[in-house]
């Protein structure tokens, strides 16, 4: 993906600082109406230089005029602003003598003029240079610039500085949560200022962040937003990488016709042969995935020719992988091996893990097609090793983003809670006087109710006996339902090792046949090599057989009836285990069911003394309810809805908290007080007994803990289980 989205970095290398945006015509008219060689004309020229609406070539003559007038009239601020443009185009990153000389002049002028906007612009330029060099000190310079722009009320300068910080955390430091934070801060200001340039720039960054963590839906939405503002700017060069990004997201999502349209749009906007080569290679990959092999070969070889001319080794490695897959689909494994071998060698020489993965997979599949299982196995091992490494990196990035978002949600919840508490305090003061009056009235009513309660007591006792009998029957039904969910989880967990056993058994059968054939030819050396492969396969079968046995043994332990004996329990492992069992149990019942699971476990939690099976039932019930809520909301057909269930733990004073939250439809306020009552349920008849939360409440109370619920109708629900640390 790094090669595919490299063009974004090239087109989005830094944020310049345009002034408050006026139209081209307005700026040109102002300049025409003021021919006098004075301070005002310099200010107009500087505004045009800093506007993103004009080409850089045109700005050079304006910069020279502004510098000449400023030096002649002694207008230091104008001279400094003109030199700033000159400095940004003098390759300051290279540390050239010319750039250093201009920088020294700028620092002298900065001390003379004492202007916050000018100082902020200078710091912004320096910050971009230093962050591009990988120096984190550049971030401090950019944030100081943002502070100065804030004091001066120069909001587009603030947006520029925050955008450059986002660039650093996106492209250099790869801290995606911080990159997203600063992109959103910059975007918020750009939206307020109605700046198409900065809105486009920030949406590109946001799209790149989402694509880096494989959130293709949100990335596509961001690139579409960016393209909208690029169209407003009427800049083909700005649309080109955005259209390529849209094509990438469509390709990863399997929407191939949309991907082809986007890539063709990028080609139409491009004037660079190497860029067109990249887009054509992407088109070749899409046609390969669609099994449209003539078109795939056409675009692949066109792209490969250009890549060879420009000695683009990265592009050659990518295209060789495409050709390998295309030839394999054409039943030409020898050609597939030829191109994949070249691509793999280039990828290894240039340390390109994604292309090492793709070309190793191509070689493994091609050798398997030739029944050369030794080489197929060798390259498959290499493929899996690199693939796992890439997936682990993506998983870490995604986890960091999810944790960051979760922390933000917690902070927002705390702020909302404090605001609510202040409102409640005002209401309490007003209510105290009313309560005092009501107490007197209640006392009178209480005397009457005592007599009525005596009469009703006998009726309640009889009804309670019937209730206990019914409750016992429904508890048994609930236990049977939980057993079914556990059984589905067992089936899912044990399927993976069984698949491995079956696959290695099939391969071993073929190896035995080959060994017999070699022995019949007295090829003992080849026979011994096959025997070694066979031994490895048998070891794999033994390994996965033991794994299946361990799974069965572990599940049998979960199926034992609770003894009521408390034992030291790892809460994090308990929650993770029942989250998995719940999800796979629901998937076993309904293949269409799907939801995102997020966890945030406090690794510093101590083990606590409890009846693990009982608390496990509580956690399983809460997670089942959460999955049910998000699934029902998804069935309602809400657009762009992503069903999500969060499970987290933390230590709070002398208690351990377990939180289970969802973004389902929430609990209506009018029934929130009833949810822990026996037999109360909102599920359809036959889908629930209404005892799950009631039993959970009793189990938690029996452990000396508490169970609470926070819910907002239409947005979601959060259950909090608090258990004492003994």
Q: Please say if the pLDDT value at position 512 is more than 70.
A: yes
When pLDDT is cut at 50, 70 and 90, the band that residue 428 belongs to is low
Long-range contacts of residues 347-356, Cβ cutoff 8 Å, at least 24 apart: 347/317, 349/313, 350/313, 350/314, 350/317, 352/2, 352/3, 352/314, 352/317, 353/386, 353/389, 353/390, 354/1, 354/2, 354/3, 354/390, 355/3, 355/314, 355/317, 355/318, 355/321, 356/382, 356/386
pLDDT at 601: 93
Q: Please say if the pLDDT value at position 574 is more than 80.
A: yes
Q: Judge contact between 578 and 616, C-beta under 8 A.
A: yes
Q: Judge contact between 129 and 167, C-beta under 8 A.
A: no
Q: Is the dihedral of CA 73, 77, 80, 81 positive or negative?
A: negative
Beta bridge partners of residue 721, listed in sequence order: 658, 707
CATH topology of domain 567-724: Heat Shock Protein 90 (3.30.565)
When pLDDT is cut at 50, 70 and 90, the band that residue 558 belongs to is very low
Long-range contacts of residues 436-444, Cβ cutoff 8 Å, at least 24 apart: none
Q: Quote the CA–CA distance of 413 and 418 in Å, as a whole number.
A: 9
For the segment 469-477, the average pLDDT, to the nearest whole number, is: 57
Q: Please say if the pLDDT value at position 517 is more than 90.
A: no
For the segment 679-700, the average pLDDT, to the nearest whole number, is: 70
Write out the H or E segment, with its range, that includes residue 646.
strand 644-652
**Which stretch of 217-221, 349-353, 373-377, 532-536 has the lowest confidence by average pLDDT?**
532-536
> Across 102-106, 415-419, 432-436, 548-552, which has the greatest mean pLDDT?
102-106
pLDDT at 723: 92
pLDDT at 398: 62
Q: Please say if the pLDDT value at position 408 is more than 60.
A: no
When pLDDT is cut at 50, 70 and 90, the band that residue 461 belongs to is confident
pTM for the predicted model, two decimal places: 0.51
Q: Quote the CA–CA distance of 441 and 477 in Å, as a whole number.
A: 46
Q: Give the number of other CB atoms < 10 A from CB of residue 107.
A: 13
Summarize pLDDT for 595-627 with one digit per residue, the tens: 899 999 999 898 888 888 889 889 999 999 999
pLDDT at 681: 72
Q: Quote the CA–CA distance of 410 and 302 in Å, as a whole number.
A: 53
For the segment 267-271, the average pLDDT, to the nearest whole number, is: 88
For the segment 276-295, the average pLDDT, to the nearest whole number, is: 94
pLDDT at 272: 86
- Helical axes 236-252 vs 196-212, angle rounded to 10°: 30
For the segment 78-82, the average pLDDT, to the nearest whole number, is: 85
Q: Please say if the pLDDT value at position 6 is more than 60.
A: no
When pLDDT is cut at 50, 70 and 90, the band that residue 5 belongs to is very low
**Would you tell me which CATH number, out of the four given (1.20.140.10, 3.90.870.10, 1.25.40.10, 1.25.40.80), belongs to the domain 195-271?**
1.25.40.10
For the segment 645-650, the average pLDDT, to the nearest whole number, is: 94
Q: Quote the CA–CA distance of 214 and 22 in Å, as a whole number.
A: 38
pLDDT at 415: 41
- Chain centre distance of CA 635: 24
Q: By three-state DSSP, how is residue 712 classified? A: strand
> Which is more confident, 298 or 108?
298
pLDDT at 432: 61
For the segment 34-54, the average pLDDT, to the nearest whole number, is: 85
Summarize pLDDT for 485-494 with one digit per residue, the tens: 545 555 655 7
Q: Judge contact between 320 and 343, C-beta under 8 A.
A: yes
Strand 644-652 with 596-600, pairing: parallel
For the segment 384-405, the average pLDDT, to the nearest whole number, is: 70
> Across 54-68, 317-331, 432-446, which has the greatest mean pLDDT?
317-331
Report the residue count for the chain: 726
The DSSP line for 456-491 is HHHHHHHHHHHHHHHHHHHHHHHHHHHHHHHHHHHH
When pLDDT is cut at 50, 70 and 90, the band that residue 686 belongs to is very low
CA-CA distances (angstroms) from residue 602 to 66, 236, 257, 572, 661? 60, 49, 45, 8, 16
pLDDT at 391: 74
Backbone angles phi, psi at 253, to 5 degrees: -90, -5
Q: Please say if the pLDDT value at position 192 is more than 70.
A: yes
Summarize pLDDT for 148-174 with one digit per residue, the tens: 989 998 888 899 899 999 989 888 888
Q: Judge contact between 694 and 707, C-beta under 8 A.
A: no
Summarize pLDDT for 167-179 with one digit per residue, the tens: 898 888 888 888 8
Task: Cite the residue boundaries of each domain of the chain with CATH code 1.25.40.10.
Answer: 195-271
For the segment 698-710, the average pLDDT, to the nearest whole number, is: 90
**Which stretch of 77-86, 216-225, 438-447 has the lowest confidence by average pLDDT?**
438-447
Q: Alpha helix (H) ranges present in 114-255? A: 116-132, 137-152, 155-171, 176-193, 196-212, 216-233, 236-252
Task: Cite the residue boundaries of each domain of the chain with CATH code 3.30.565.10.
Answer: 567-724
**Which stretch of 40-44, 478-482, 528-532, 537-541 has the lowest confidence by average pLDDT?**
478-482
Percent of the chain surpassing pLDDT 90: 30
pLDDT at 20: 44
Q: Please say if the pLDDT value at position 725 is more than 90.
A: no
Q: Quote the CA–CA distance of 199 and 550 in Å, as a whole number.
A: 55
Q: Quote the CA–CA distance of 618 and 574 in Å, as a whole number.
A: 11
pLDDT at 687: 56
> Across 52-61, 196-205, 460-469, which has the greatest mean pLDDT?
196-205
**Which stretch of 126-130, 255-259, 386-390, 470-474 has the lowest confidence by average pLDDT?**
470-474
Q: Please say if the pLDDT value at position 324 is more than 90.
A: yes
């Amino acid at each position: 993906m790094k090669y595919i989205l490299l063009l974004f970095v090239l087109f989005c290398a830094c944020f310049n600082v345009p002034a408050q945006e006026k139209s081209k015509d307005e700026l040109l008219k102002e300049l025409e109406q003021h021919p006098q060689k004075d301070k005002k004309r310099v200010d107009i020229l500087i505004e045009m230089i800093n506007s993103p609406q004009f080409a850089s070539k045109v700005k050079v003559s304006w910069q020279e005029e502004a510098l000449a007038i400023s030096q002649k009239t002694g207008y230091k601020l104008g001279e400094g602003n003109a030199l700033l443009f000159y400095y940004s185009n003098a390759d300051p990153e290279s540390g050239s003598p010319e750039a250093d000389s201009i920088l020294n002049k700028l620092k002298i002028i900065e001390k003379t003029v004492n202007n916050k906007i000018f100082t902020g612009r200078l710091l912004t330029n320096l910050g971009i240079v230093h962050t591009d060099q990988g120096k984190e000190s550049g971030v401090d310079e950019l944030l100081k610039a943002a502070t100065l722009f804030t004091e001066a009320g120069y909001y587009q300068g603030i947006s520029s500085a925050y955008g450059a910080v986002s660039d650093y955390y996106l492209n250099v430091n790869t801290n995606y949560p911080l990159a997203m934070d600063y992109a959103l801060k910059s975007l918020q200001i750009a939206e307020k200022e109605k700046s198409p340039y900065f809105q486009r720039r920030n949406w590109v960054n946001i799209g790149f962040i989402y694509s880096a963590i494989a959130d293709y839906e949100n990335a596509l939405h961001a690139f579409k937003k960016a393209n909208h503002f690029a169209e407003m700017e009427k800049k083909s060069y700005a649309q080109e990488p955005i259209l390529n990004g849209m094509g990438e997201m469509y390709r990863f999502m399997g929407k191939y016709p949309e991907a082809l349209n986007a890539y063709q749009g990028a080609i139409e906007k491009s004037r660079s042969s190497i860029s067109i080569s990249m887009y054509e290679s992407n088109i070749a990959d899409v046609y390969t995935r669609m099994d449209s092999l003539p078109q795939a070969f056409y675009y692949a070889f066109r792209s490969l020719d250009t890549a060879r001319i420009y000695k683009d080794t990265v592009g050659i490695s990518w295209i060789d992988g495409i050709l390998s897959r295309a030839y394999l689909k054409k039943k030409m494994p020898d050609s597939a091996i030829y191109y994949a071998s070249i691509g793999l060698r280039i990828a290894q020489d240039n340390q390109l893990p994604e292309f090492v993965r793709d070309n190793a997979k191509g070689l493994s599949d091609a050798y398997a097609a030739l029944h050369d299982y030794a080489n197929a196995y060798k390259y498959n091992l290499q493929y899996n090793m690199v693939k796992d490494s890439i997936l682990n990196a993506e998983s870490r990035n995604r986890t960091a983003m999810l944790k960051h978002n979760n922390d933000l949600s917690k902070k927002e919840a705390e702020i909302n809670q404090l605001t609510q508490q202040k409102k409640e305090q005002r209401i309490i003061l007003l209510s105290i006087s009313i309560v005092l009056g009501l107490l007197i009235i209640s006392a009178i009513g209480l005397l009457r109710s005592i007599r009525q309660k005596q009469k009703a007591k006998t009726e309640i006792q009889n009804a309670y006996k019937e209730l206990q009998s019914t409750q016992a029957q429904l508890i048994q039904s609930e236990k049977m339902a939980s057993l079914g969910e556990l059984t589905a989880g067992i089936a899912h967990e044990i399927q993976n090792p069984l698949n491995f056993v079956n696959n290695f058994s099939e391969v071993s059968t073929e190896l035995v046949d080959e060994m017999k054939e070699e022995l019949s030819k007295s090829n003992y050396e080849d026979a011994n090599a096959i025997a070694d492969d066979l031994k490895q396969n048998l070891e794999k079968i033994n390994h996965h057989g033991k794994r299946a046995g361990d799974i069965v043994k572990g599940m049998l332990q979960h199926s034992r009836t609770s003894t009521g004996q408390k034992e030291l329990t790892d809460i994090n492992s308990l929650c993770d285990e029942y989250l998995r069992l719940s999800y796979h149990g629901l998937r076993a019942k309904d293949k269409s069911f799907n939801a995102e699971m997020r966890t945030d476990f406090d690794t510093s939690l101590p083990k606590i003394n409890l009846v693990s099976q009982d608390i496990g039932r509580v956690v399983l019930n809460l997670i089942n309810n959460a999955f049910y809520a998000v699934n029902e909301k998804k069935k309602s057909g809400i657009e762009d809805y992503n069903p999500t269930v969060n499970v987290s733990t933390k230590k709070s004073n002398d208690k351990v908290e377990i939180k289970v939250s969802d973004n389902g439809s929430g609990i209506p306020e009018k029934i929130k007080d009833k949810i822990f009552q026996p037999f109360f349920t909102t599920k359809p008849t036959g889908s629930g007994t209404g005892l799950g939360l009631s039993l959970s409440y009793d189990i938690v109370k029996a452990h000396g803990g508490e169970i609470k619920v926070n819910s907002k109708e239409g947005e979601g629900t959060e259950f909090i289980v608090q258990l004492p640390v003994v």
